[in-house]
């Protein structure tokens, strides 16, 4: 297993560790519910240094990004970011990612999922026919997410960058905790507000930043947060997790990602997806909450009232914020309307649930 520059700190803090995407990662520290509530009500810090980062630059950089991603990167100016997806030739999702514009038309950073780094690199490289300059900087890039309603207020003590007024999906590069060239980005996977910071671990930068964050944050209740709470937080927001809710067989339109699928340009499978939009999809990703007692899990069958299989669960949990069981799953389109009653097969029982509007929280 690979380690991040913070792995020893997680172990020292008593984190429950496990393998995730080839990395030794913290799953929980004080418990998922406790960590979840810390982020929803105050602030928490996640080590997400396992994520992948690619730099794409040069005169053909934007052209390449436009060809492989679904969203319209030509709308980005320096300091702005956008959520997007890579699609394969059949319209399935290779990965979801964030595109950062470092220099308009010339330099971009793509942030991809840890488990897809190699796959994404090969896919983008395959389409790089005009030889845009590409660099995989994943192994030398640290990524920390400081999330929660008080996160920016606490972190403002560590920088001259005005992060309190940083607009959602914008970023600034500057000095943070005494370290130069840190990207401070108003992004995150929790729906609780906050920032993500990207920096290179050289000259002890990782130690310095981690320690300074806890110096200012711990007295105010900031806690370290594991991947367990990261999953419950994102699920409450209805955010897709690659490998669970989206993959190479699901299209952005089925997954409710039509808003990042722009047909004002040509991209991989754009013609196919445009046809799909016109004719309609046969299944849709929906959010549902349990009415009967029971927790839905990945791959559980979803059935109609007569017991016919109409789909499957992709993610599910007991929501710490709502005190009820919630889930995401694909169902036949006819069952995708809000308040539709569906049944989740939990062991040998069919448990009643209903389709609800996202986000849950």
Residue 7 pLDDT class (50, 70, 90 cuts): very high
The pLDDT value recorded for residue 54 is 99
The pLDDT of 30-57, averaged and rounded, is: 98
Whether pTM exceeds 0.95 = yes
Three-state DSSP state, 30? coil
pLDDT in tens, 86-111: 999 999 999 999 999 999 999 999 99
Output the pLDDT for position 282.
98
Q: What is the pLDDT of residue 32?
A: 98
Contacts of 271 (CB under 8 A, 6+ apart): none
Question: Would you state the pLDDT for residue 257?
Answer: 98
Task: Give the single-character DSSP code of 202.
Answer: -
Q: Average pLDDT in the 267-281 region?
A: 98
Ramachandran assignment for 61, one of left (phi > 0), alpha (psi -120 to 50 degrees), beta (any other): alpha
Q: Helix (H, G, I), strand (E, B), or coil: what is residue 8?
A: helix
Helix (H) or strand (E) holding 323: none
Residues 275, 252, 269, 90, CA torsion sign: negative
| pLDDT at res. 104 | 97
Average pLDDT in the chain: 98
- Determine the average pLDDT of the residues in 330-354: 97
Overall average pLDDT of the 284-308 stretch: 97
Stretch 335-345: mean pLDDT: 98
Residues of the chain with CATH 3.30.1360.120: 7-50+139-236
DSSP states along 133-194: EEEE-GGGEEEEEEESTTHHHHHGGGBSS-GGGPPTTBEEEEEETTEEEEEEES--SSSS-E
Give the pLDDT band (50/70/90) at residue 174: very high
Average pLDDT rounded to a whole number, residues 113-125:
98
Give me the architecture of the 282-356 domain, per CATH.
Beta Barrel (2.40)
pLDDT of 22 reads 96
Please name the residues in contact with 298: beta carbons below 8 A apart, sequence gap of 6 or more.
Answer: 244, 313, 314, 315, 316
Question: How far apart, in Å, do the first and last CA atoms of the chain sit?
Answer: 35
Q: How far apart are CA 316 and CA 229, in angstroms?
A: 13
- CATH 2.40.30.110 positions along the chain are 282-356
Confidence grade of residue 221 (pLDDT, cut at 50, 70, 90): very high
Average pLDDT over residues 18-30: 97
- Band (pLDDT 50/70/90 cuts) for residue 78 is very high
- One CATH from 3.90.180.10, 3.90.1150.10, 3.30.1360.120, 3.30.450.20 for 7-50+139-236: 3.30.1360.120
- Listed in order, the ranges of the chain carrying CATH 3.30.70.1400 are 52-136
Total count of residues recorded for the chain: 361
- Confirm if 114 and 21 have CB atoms less than 8 A apart: yes
Q: Would you state the pLDDT for residue 9?
A: 98
Give me the pLDDT at residue 255, please: 98
Q: Residues 52-136: name the CATH superfamily.
A: Aminomethyltransferase beta-barrel domains (3.30.70.1400)
Confidence (pLDDT) at 52:
98
């Amino acid at each position: 297993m690979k380690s991040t520059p913070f792995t020893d700190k997680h172990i020292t803090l008593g984190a429950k560790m496990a393998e995730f995407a080839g990395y030794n990662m913290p799953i929980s520290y004080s418990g998922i519910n406790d960590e979840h509530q810390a982020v929803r009500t105050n602030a928490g810090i996640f080590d997400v240094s396992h994520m992948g980062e690619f730099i794409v630059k040069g005169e053909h950089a934007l052209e390449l990004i436009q060809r492989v991603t679904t969203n319209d990167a030509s709308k980005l100016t320096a300091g702005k970011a956008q959520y997007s997806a890579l699609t394969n030739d059949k319209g399935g999702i290779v990965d979801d990612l964030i595109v950062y514009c470092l220099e308009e038309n010339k330099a971009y950073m793509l942030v991809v999922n840890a488990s897809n780094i190699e796959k994404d690199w090969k896919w983008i490289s395959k389409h790089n026919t005009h030889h845009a300059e590409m660099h995989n900087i994943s192994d030398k890039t640290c990524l920390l997410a400081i999330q929660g309603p008080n996160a920016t207020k606490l972190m403002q003590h560590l920088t001259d960058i005005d992060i309190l007024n940083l607009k959602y999906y914008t970023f600034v590069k500057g000095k943070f905790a005494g370290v130069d060239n840190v990207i401070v980005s108003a992004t995150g996977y929790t729906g609780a507000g906050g920032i993500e910071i990207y920096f290179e671990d050289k000259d002890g930068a990782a130690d310095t930043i981690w320690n300074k964050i806890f110096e200012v944050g711990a007295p105010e209740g900031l806690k370290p947060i594991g991947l367990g709470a990261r999953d419950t937080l994102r699920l409450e927001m209805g955010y897709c997790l690659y490998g669970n809710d989206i993959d190479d067989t699901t299209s952005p339109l089925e997954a409710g990602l039509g808003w990042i699928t722009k047909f004002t340009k040509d991209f991989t499978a754009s013609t196919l997806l445009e046809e799909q939009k016109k004719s309609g999809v046969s299944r849709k990703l929906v959010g549902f909450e349990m009415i009967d007692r029971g927790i839905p899990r990945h791959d559980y069958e979803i059935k109609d009232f007569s017991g016919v299989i109409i789909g499957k669960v992709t993610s599910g949990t007991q929501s710490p914020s709502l005190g009820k069981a919630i889930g995401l799953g694909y169902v036949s389109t006819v069952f995708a309307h809000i308040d539709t009653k569906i049944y989740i097969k939990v062991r040998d029982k069919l448990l009643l649930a209903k389709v609800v509007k996202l986000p849950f929280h």
